[in-house]
């Protein structure tokens, strides 16, 4: 077992569990998983050391990162503690404990990019603020920014279940018609991306330190995504667009995505991640494997 420890926050979630799997696979680092409940079935199934900490508990956070060389940080929106405070508490603990490198799951700053037009998309803006705080902390770091999770399709998020039809399936989405959005197979690709920057931050600092990477299979409209899903499932997939849901954070997120390209000018898949050895999965492959299994097709 490697003596080099990497602490992984939200280790039972889609992103964190992907990072744990990737670290266990390449064995360069020994993962330490952080959860609020070490006795949960999901936590016990991770197959590595598990420690308990909540973002508001500074002592527990300090213990969780002490002895770790690297940390994967992702924060949780719409809880009692703002994401900025969650991120700040973890980054402060990392500074005190002498952590060498932090990989952050981040998102674009919607308020800034839209020139103040969209001000409610706090689950993006706060991550971007955490990113600024991290980049100013003095710790070597990289931000890895996912797009819309393909996993949302089988999670049926935001009242959008993937629905059986007479001939195939219907992709129900709140993406505005014509919006081209980055699609990310997060559980498949976040782990390898984080493992790659952890493994190479000392040898390739010019390519990694303080860089922001975009994690995604491609930019696609809902119709283009449906066509890829259809190829993978082998049946037609139609699209139904739903309107706003009277939740400004989400409604403005979709309006912003229709009007602005996330990470303008960055080709997706991100060639800079490919150069570090990260090969992301395709939408078709996601459909043929994970989605098919979830829907029992
Ligand atoms: N869905 C998307 O398309 C999308 C796109 C880009 C970014 N994101 C971001 O991804 C993040 C969610 O990540 P994920 O999908 O990997 O998570 P997830 O699968 O939803 O799991 C979240 C994990 O976080 C923990 N958690 C739940 N509530 C918490 C709280 N109040 N405080 C601390 N931990 C809590 C839980 O772990 P324990 O119970 O074990 O503690 C849970 O396993 C959010 O920040 C979201 O904004 C999502």
Ligand 1 atom nearest the C-alpha of 146 is: 6
Give the distance (Å) from ligand 1 centre to CA of residue 16: 9
7, 9, 10: which to mutate for ligand 1, most atoms within 8 A of CB?
A: 10
pLDDT (mean) for 246-267: 97
Q: What is the pLDDT of residue 187?
A: 98
Scan for tokens 């007479």, then name that residue.
166
C-alpha to C-alpha distance for 254 and 261, rounded to whole angstroms: 11
Domains of the chain, each with CATH number or no CATH? 5-295 (3.40.50.720)
Give 159-217 pLDDT, tens digit per residue: 899 999 999 999 999 999 999 999 999 999 999 999 999 999 999 999 999 999 999 99
pLDDT (mean) for 73-95: 98
Residue with CA at minimum distance from ligand 1 atom 22: 13
Are 236 and 199 a contacting pair, CB within 8 Å? no
Local confidence band at 130 (pLDDT 50, 70, 90 cut-offs): very high
- Ligand 1 is surrounded, with C-beta below 6 A, by 10, 12-16, 35-37, 40, 43, 54-55, 74-77, 79, 107, 123, 146, 148-149, 152
pLDDT (mean) for 221-246: 97
Local confidence band at 16 (pLDDT 50, 70, 90 cut-offs): very high
Model pTM?
0.98
Residue with CA at minimum distance from ligand 1 atom 23: 13
Ligand 1 atom nearest the C-alpha of 43 is: 40
Local confidence band at 157 (pLDDT 50, 70, 90 cut-offs): confident
pLDDT (mean) for 37-51: 98
């Amino acid at each position: 077992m490697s003596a080099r420890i990497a602490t992984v926050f939200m280790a039972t979630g889609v992103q964190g569990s992907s990072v744990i799997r990737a670290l266990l696979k390449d064995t360069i680092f020994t993962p330490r998983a952080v959860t609020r409940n070490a006795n949960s079935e999901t936590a016990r199934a991770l197959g590595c050391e598990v420690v308990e900490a909540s973002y508001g508990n500074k002592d527990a956070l300090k213990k969780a990162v002490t002895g770790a060389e690297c940390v994967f940080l992702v924060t949780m929106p719409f809880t009692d503690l703002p994401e900025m405070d969650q991120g700040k508490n973890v980054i402060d603990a990392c500074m005190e404990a002498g952590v060498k490198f932090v990989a952050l799951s981040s998102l674009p700053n919607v308020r800034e990019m839209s020139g103040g037009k969209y001000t409610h998309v706090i689950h993006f803006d706060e991550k971007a603020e955490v990113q600024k705080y991290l980049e100013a902390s003095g710790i070597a770091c990289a931000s890895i920014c996912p797009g819309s999770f393909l996993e949302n399709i089988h999670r049926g998020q935001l009242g959008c279940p993937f629905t059986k039809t007479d001939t195939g399936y219907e992709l129900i989405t709140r993406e505005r018609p014509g919006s081209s959005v980055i699609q990310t197979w997060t559980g498949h690709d976040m782990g390898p991306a984080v493992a790659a920057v952890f493994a190479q931050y000392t040898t390739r600092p010019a390519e990694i330190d303080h860089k922001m990477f975009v994690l995604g299979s491609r930019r696609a409209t809902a119709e283009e995504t449906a066509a890829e899903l259809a190829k993978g499932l082998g049946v037609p997939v139609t699209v139904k667009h739903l309107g706003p849901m009277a939740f400004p954070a989400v409604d403005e997120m979709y309006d912003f995505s229709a009007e602005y390209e996330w990470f303008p000018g960055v080709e997706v898949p991100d060639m800079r991640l490919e150069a570090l050895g990260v090969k992301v999965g395709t939408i078709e492959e996601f459909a043929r494997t994970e989605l098919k299994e979830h829907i029992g097709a």
